Amino acid sequence: MNSEFSVAVHSLVFLNHRGTTLSSEELAKNVCTNPARIRKIMAKLKKAELVATKEGIDGGYHFIRDPSTVTLREVSEALEMRFVSATWQSGDTDMKCLIASGMAAIMDDIYGQLDQLCQVHLDGITIQMIENRIFHYETQELL
């Protein structure tokens, strides 16, 4: 997992709270990253129809959905995120040992199941819930 998810969620909550169009520079300042990174992530969110863009001197990004219906699962899907995965696998499928040749597929299945559980959990958390928690409108845990 990379930090794109955190940047995306932060940006959406900030755009929702401000209720206006903000430039990548303004978003980057609040997120504490660079504008190019914001633009890359916002392009994915725009493709998923979570934000829209406005051209011109007062241009930028604005949140176009109801924050109480946008789940973190939807954000993660827009970014094509995997929360649980491995970049290295033990064993080798060409080995005669059943453990060595079968372990990678078994572990991939386990990681896939764990990733699905993460997605199910995120389906119960909305952008509005995060904003409410930040401003103490809600004190309960986010699932």
User: Is 79 part of any domain?
Assistant: yes
Q: Is the separation of the CB atoms in 103 and 90 below 8 Å?
A: yes
Tell me whether residue 21 is in a domain.
Answer: yes
In a domain, 29, yes or no: yes
Write the CA distances from 135 to 21, 62, 129, 138, integer angstroms.
Answer: 21, 21, 10, 8
Inter-residue contact 59 to 21 (CB < 8 Å): yes
pLDDT tens for 88-132 read 788 888 889 999 998 988 999 999 999 999 999 999 999 999 999
The answer to whether 31 and 7 are in contact (CB under 8 A) is yes
Predicted local confidence at residue 86, as pLDDT: 78
Evaluate whether residue 124 is within a structural domain.
yes
The overall pTM is greater than 0.95: no
Q: What is the 3-state secondary structure (H, E, C) of 59-100?
A: CEEEECCCCCCCEHHHHHHHCCCCCCCCCCCCCCCCCCCHHH
Predicted pLDDT of residue 91: 85
Please check whether residue 71 lies inside any domain of the structure: yes
pLDDT tens per residue across span 24-50: 999 999 999 999 999 999 999 999 999
Q: Residue 60 has which token pair?
A: 């930028």
Residue 127, domain extent: 4-134
CATH code at position 83 = 1.10.10.10
Q: Is the pLDDT of residue 143 over 60?
A: no
Closest C-alpha among 103, 91, 122 to residue 1:
122
Q: Count of domains in the chain?
A: 1
Q: Is residue 141 part of a domain?
A: no
In a domain, 62, yes or no: yes
Residue 140 inside a domain? The answer is: no
Say whether pLDDT at 2 is over 80. no
Residue 142 has pLDDT above 80, yes or no: no
Cα 27–31–36 angle (5° rounding)? 60
**Between 135 and 11, the higher pLDDT residue:** 11
